[in-house]
A = this chain, B = another copy of it.
Amino acid sequence: MRYHKAPDETIRRLPSYLRGLALLLDQGYKSISSQGLADFIGINPWQIRKDFSYFGGFGTRGVGYDIEKLVKQIKKILRLDVVHKAALVGVGNLGLAVLAYPGFGVYGFEVAAAFDVSPQKVGRKVHNVAIEGVSELGTLRKRGIDIAIIAVPREAAQQTVDELVKAGVRGILNFSPCYITVPKKLKVITIDIAMDFARLPYYMPRQAGA
């Protein structure tokens, strides 16, 4: 089911709830109020309650939310209740950072394959993942990999995407700083770290603090 009523902004916030709840669990909390979670992740409590209400509400009035149960519900909404296998394409500096990134586990992702064009890299093993040549991309479908992470130079991005589409991938996380075109029934999320950086000065105060 695809909870059509929920605003995109709500969907955007759900992963941050998940992250906060995982941290709270680590700290030994079993349950939390919307106020407590709000303080913890820097947001308002009514926003949290409203977000949950789009899916029917997950809490107990007068008490709060059972964290473990809440995590399970949010994961189900985001379809993170099953492990998703992802392939990394492009094992440069950014690709290496992706392979080393410890934060994917919380969301049920597993980077199960890595690809690169460079013959020097192919065959090597990085963070327990063997690097394959891009000619092997066609094997993704039968390996059950339906998500790709693109960390190739901008010039190669669109071509890489085209090959991934042919390989049956349904979702792409694009780190290349460019707009790419895909068939309508495929979701692409582009992250350009420089672009977030670029709006920082606008919001910075004029004079230094303390």
- Interface of A with B (CB < 8 Å)? 2, 11-12, 14-16, 18-20, 23, 40-42, 77-80, 84, 92-94, 96-101, 103-104, 106-107, 109, 141, 146-147, 149, 165-166, 168-173, 177-179, 181, 183, 185-187, 189, 191-205, 207-210
Contacts and interface: CB of A to CB of B under 8 A. Distances in A.
Given A15-B194, A171-B201, A186-B204, 10 more contacts: A15-B199, A16-B192, A23-B178, A42-B179, A79-B202, A79-B204, A96-B96, A170-B208, A185-B205, A187-B205
A78 to B, nearest CB: 5
Nearest to A187: B203
A169 B207 CA distance: 10
A83 to B, nearest CB: 11
Given A97-B96, A100-B93, A209-B165, A20 B179 contact: yes
Given A42-B179, A94-B101, A178-B23, A80 B168 contact: no
B23 A168 contact: no
14 contacts: A11-B202, A15-B198, A16-B192, A23-B178, A93-B100, A103-B192, A104-B194, A107-B194, A168-B209, A173-B193, A183-B209, A186-B205, A191-B191, A191-B196
